[in-house]
Structure formats: structure tokens, C-alpha cells
Amino acid sequence: MTLIAQITDLHVRPSGTACYRVSETNMLARRAVEALNALDPQPDAVIITGDLADTPDPREYGGVQRLVSLIKAPVYVLPGNHDSAAMMRETLIGVGPINEGENGKMHYAVDIGDVRLIALDSSVPGAPHGTLGEAQLAWLDATLAASARPTLIALHHPPALTGIAHMDTIGLADSAAFSAVVSRHSHVRRVMCGHVHRAIVASVGHTVMTLCPSTAHQVHLDFVDRGSGHFIMEPPAFFLHHYAPESDVVSHLAYVERFPGPFPFFADEGISW
């Protein structure tokens, strides 16, 4: 059994500064770390799928470093559209590997328990949309061909439309090329993304894409194209991706906040199973 936790879109700000003047992202990110550390069993790894910081500000990445240093499990990261990949490399310690490929992108593959995790860099400096590029897609194709190990691919921008128009316009520009690569490799078990701040499930090639909600604010669910978007303070959450040979990958949505319980079923009837 292998358990990988996914958190995303922390949007860490300078101390004492709310995101968009409303969302207390630093406090919410700390609560997410506490929730991860309280898990039993502990995950084999934590992947943070982009937008660790809100802006390319050294103070924000200092805050990110302090947060990730508190996580008990091994941590892996990749950049989102709000991130600076260069600043991530300079600031973040103990969240490896953070490699720079020949194309200048941050991508890598690691074996975790029974699965392989491939992290991709879809960030485009100074732009909200995502692109992987021909060189990184060729690297992905070759990396997938080199091993038939069950594989989870992580990137920030979702390679599928969500129906939320203002987010779809800043999605992954080369999603068709990505899907073509994935379709050639049947051992890709899951594609894990962030960016849209909602829990969404969609198809990519032959496999399943799970889009993780943010540890902070969520994008308002609106299927009407209004030209611009809004956010909403729905409960922060994350994904737990559970792999076992007999069940393949099963992805569980877990909430950061604690709720009353757990309570035993049938306590009054004296029934136990």
C-alpha cells in the first residue's frame, strides 16, 4: 500500500497580509500542515501541486520553507502560475529533488513505495496559463517508456476543461499533446492537478484526472461565462491518493477542519461487526 497526500494552491503571503484582502492563506496553510501531520497512517509523501506562494516575493518563500519544514512526510513540490521556479530552487530546502531540465523546466521522477511520481512544470513566467512545451513532453514520453511501474503524474494546470470558463481560458495550452503522450502509456494511473481551487474529476486520455481543492479559498462554482471569476470561502481540503495492487489508485477527499465524531454505528442497538 502506498499513500500520497496532495495539497495545492497555498498562496502564502507576507506575514500579516491576507490574500485578496480576505483569505488568511498563511493561517489556513498551517492548519493544512497540522491536518497532514495528524494522519494515521502517515502518507509516504506529500506533493504540493503549485502556487505555493502568491507572488515571487522572498518573504513568501521564506514562509513556504517554514511551513514545509513542519511536514513529517517527505515533501515534493512543483511550480504554479503564481510561483517563481528560480526562487523555489533558491529558497526551498529538503523538498527534493528540484531539478532543472535542459528546457529550463522543473521536472523529475521519483519512486515512492509501489508507485512512480512524475512532477511536471507547466508554469509560464509572467502568464496565468500553462504550457509544458515540446522538450518536456518528450522527456515525459521517454520517462514513461523507461518503466512500467504504476505512475502518478502531477502538474499545476489541468489538462482538461472544467466548465468554469474564466479558469479554462488559463488552463494548459498544450493539453492535447499531453493527453496524446499519456494515452501511449497504460501504466499512468492518475493525473493530479491544482490551479482551479475545486475538487474536480475528469478524463485525460485513458486515465483519470483529479483536481485538488485549495488549502485556502476556493473558486466559486459558476458555469456561466461572466468574463471574470470570484472566490468563495468553502472548506479547505486535500486529496489522499491510495494505491494498492488489488484496487489500483483510489483518491479520497479529506477536509482540513475537524468535525464532530467519529461515532460508532448502531451504538444504541448493541450491534458490533
Please report, in tens digits, the pLDDT of each residue of the chain (273 residues total): 999 999 999 999 999 999 989 999 999 999 999 999 999 999 999 999 999 999 999 999 999 999 999 999 999 999 999 999 989 998 998 887 776 666 678 999 999 999 999 999 999 999 999 999 999 999 999 999 999 999 999 999 999 999 999 999 999 999 999 999 999 999 999 999 999 999 999 999 999 999 999 999 999 999 988 777 899 999 999 999 999 999 999 999 999 999 999 988 876 666 555
Write down the pTM of the prediction: 0.95
Query: Are 155 and 218 a contacting pair, CB within 8 Å?
Result: no
Planar angle of CA 167, 127, 20, nearest 5 degrees: 65
Q: Please tell me the predicted confidence (pLDDT) of residue 239.
A: 99
Q: Please tell me the predicted confidence (pLDDT) of residue 95.
A: 84
User: Which residues have a Cβ under 8 Å from the Cβ of 40 and sit 6 or more positions away?
Assistant: none
Q: Please tell me the predicted confidence (pLDDT) of residue 272.
A: 58
The pair phi, psi for residue 161, each rounded to 5°, is -75, 150
Looking at this protein, which amino acid is placed at residue 9?
D
Please give the Cα distance from 113 to 147 (Å, whole number): 15
Please give the Cα distance from 248 to 262 (Å, whole number): 27
Q: Please tell me the predicted confidence (pLDDT) of residue 227.
A: 74
Domains and CATH numbers, the chain: 2-255 (3.60.21.10)
